[in-house]
Structure 1
Amino acid sequence: MREMVYFIGAGPGDADLITVKGRDILSKADVVIYAGSLVSKEHLEFCKEGVRIFNSAMMNLDEVIEVIKQSEDKGKMVVRLHTGDPSIYGAIKEQMDELKTLGIDYEVIPGVSSFTAAAAAIKSEFTLPKVTQTVILTRVEGRTPVPEGEDLEALAKIGASMAIFLSISMIDKVVAKLRRGYGRNVPIVVVERATWEDERVIYGTLDDISEKVKAANITKCAQILVGDFIDCDYEKSKLYDKSFTHMFREGINEDSSDLHK
């Protein structure tokens, strides 16, 4: 009898940021294939005795699928442990398509992404009233291109909050494109290894962030957050405005005693 294959988001770094469901399944797995270059090895401490562990940093797609297939043929439960949330730059679509072809069932357990962890690190909210209600997740082109129309300069013209993945090694290129897109100096923050013990946060603007990043020697594992949301005036949300009613708060008496009924 074949077991299910689970794609699990391990979170951005801190091992406690995996979901309860994700850790529960991980603790029962017979085989774990984890992204060793990005996922904390601390997660492996929750695996059961006798589990077989593979580091996918040294494997190609065919090798990953072969391990899963052989394990499934033996009735073993397999966990594919990805960093952050696997749906964002996780390259899981190609793996799931291969499993579908083989008739192997799978499930995806979401996780905390590094972009939300980075926002938490700087204690900020991406979506502020009268500032922006849109968040763009993207990357600059490098060895892997981006689709036409998704150039960073074009996206910056929207003026939305941005979280830029996989681009810190090209910080000069990122800043040049953002400057042309925004057309002005805007706040920018680099969060290296968000939620890890050695997390570092660098605040700046388009005018000085490249220099600061180079001085700190940050070349990988960093989120670039850009936009006015980092430092701006904003309008308070209607959600908690006492003069604004909605289906859960319609006609509430201002007497605080009503809040406990």
Structure 2
Amino acid sequence: MKSLKSSVYIVGAGPGNPDLLTVRAQKILESADVILFADSLVPAEILDLCKSDAEIIRTANKTLEDILPIMIKEVRSHKSVVRLHSGDPSLYSAIHEQMQLLAEADIPFEVVPGISAFQAAAANLKVELTVPGLVQTIILTRISGRTQVPAREELTSLAAHQASLCLYLAARHVENAQTQLLEHYPPDTPVAICYRLGWHDEKTFIVPLNQMADCTHQEKLIRTTLYVISPALREVKARSRLYHPEHSHLFRPRGGGEE
């Protein structure tokens, strides 16, 4: 691609596998001068895409007060900077405050989306999380921990929908999560427990909801774990109307004629 602007590129690295980077993310990584990456969450293999003289800065041990001045200084030195986050930047990535402060400092930035863990989980499980006649809603959420969830978004109320619920950042609070989910989902509802998706040591377990906490403890899963709770994980026979021969639309009018 053309040489990058002197700017901050907030890039989603996806769940782990470098093959799941977007093409744009890959091109930006190949050209950037400075890469600040969340080394506790992003595999080092992704850095193999960077140019040989790129400056690599690990940020797992840094605060925003450490990171922000580096980004500002490098952009003002006419360098292109990548802030590499895991997953997709729109979910639990703490970019909100970064963007606010960059804007206040008059530093240009761009957000490059990435594959989120729930999408990688569905692909690994070979399921569609919105099955006609069964479930048509996906809820992405977390449980209260150090960061509190607003009362109106507590897991108990979200579970009432019995949708496909993708639960992030919950392994340390799994008993509480299971208790709240059981208030609305049947005990035998399938749960996919997805650990370190996209990494070389990834693991996936499918258990009934009432065994979610036990499995988490038995496998010693503490972090980087996603729970997918969904009736779509069962063996279900269903068919969408979209490609049904009785379903007509602009490009396939009833009777097969042209409109």
TM-score, normalising length: structure 1: 0.93
**Cα offset for 1:251?**
4.1
Q: 1:232 deviation in Å?
A: 4.7
CA contact (8 A) 2:187 2:208 kept: no
Q: Residues 247 and 254 of structure 2 are in contact (CA less than 8 Å); yes or no, is this contact kept in structure 1?
A: no
Aligned partner of 1:115: which letter? F
Amino acid at match of 2:236: D
Instruction: Verify: 1:214 aligned to 2:217, yes or no.
Output: yes
Quote how far apart the aligned CAs of 1:203 are: 0.8
Q: Distance in 2 between matches of 1:240 and 1:103?
A: 49
**Structure 2 counterpart of 1:121, from 120, 124, 128:** 124
Give the alignment of 1:24-173 within 5 angstroms.
Answer: 24-173=27-176
Which residues of 2 match residues 188-227 of structure 1 at below 5 A?
Answer: 188-227=191-230
- Corresponding letter in the other structure for 1:37: S
Q: Structure 2 vs 1, CA of residues 30 and 176 (structure 1 numbering), >3 Å: closer, same or farther?
A: same
On the 8 A contact 2:33/2:53 being kept in 1, the answer is yes
- Alignment partner of 1:204: what SS? strand
Partner amino acid, structure 2, of 1:66: P
1:124-168 CA-to-partner distances (Å, cap 9, x unmatched) read: 111111111110000111111100111101100011110000001
Q: 1:253 to 1:247 in 2, by over 3 A?
A: closer
Could you tell me which amino acid in structure 1 is paired with residue 138 of structure 2? V
For 2:241, give the aligned amino acid.
K
Distance in 2 separating the partners of 1:195 and 1:114: 9
Q: CA deviation at 1:22?
A: 0.4
Task: Select 2:243's aligned residue among 240, 243, 255.
Answer: 240
Q: Match of 1:89, SS?
A: coil
Distance 1:128 1:23 in 2: 33
CA contact under 8 A between 1:9 and 1:81: conserved in structure 2? yes
Counterpart secondary structure, 2:74: helix
Counterpart of 1:103, as a letter, is: D
Q: Give the Å deviation of 1:99.
A: 0.5
User: Closer, same or farther in 2 for the Cα pair 1:96/1:201, shift >3 Å?
Assistant: same
Cα deviation per residue 1:206-256 (whole Å; 9 max; x = unaligned)? 2222222211111111110002111153531011111111112224659xx
The one of 12, 17, 22 aligned to 1:14: 17
Residue equivalent to 2:231: 228
Range with greater deviation from structure 2 (183-192 or 44-53): 183-192
Query: CA shift at 1:184, angstroms?
Result: 4.7
State how far apart, in whole Å, the 2-side matches of 1:36 and 1:241 are: 47
The change in CA–CA distance for 1:234 and 1:154 in structure 2 (over 3 A counts) is farther
CA contact (8 A) 1:155 1:181 kept: no
Cα distance in 1 for partners of 2:175, 2:163 equals 21
SS at match of 1:97: helix
Unpaired runs of 5+ residues, structure 1, are 255-261
- Structure 1 SS opposite 2:128: coil
Unaligned runs of 5+ in 2: none
Separation (CA, whole Å) in 2 of partners of 1:9 and 1:91: 12
Letter in 1 for 2:84: L
CA distance in 1, matches of 2:50, 2:248: 48
1:67 and 1:11 map into 2 onto residues whose CA distance is 24
Alignment RMSD (CA, Å): 1.5
Q: In the comparison of the two structures, how many residue pairs are matched?
A: 253
State whether structure 2 residue 165 is matched by structure 1 residue 174. Answer: no
2: distance between equivalents of 1:234 and 1:82? 38
Identical amino acids, percent of aligned pairs: 36
Q: What is the CA-CA distance between 1:44 and the residue it aligns to?
A: 0.9
TM-superposed deviation, 1:32: 0.5
After TM superposition, the structure 1 stretch with the greater mean CA deviation from structure 2, 41-50 or 177-186, is: 177-186
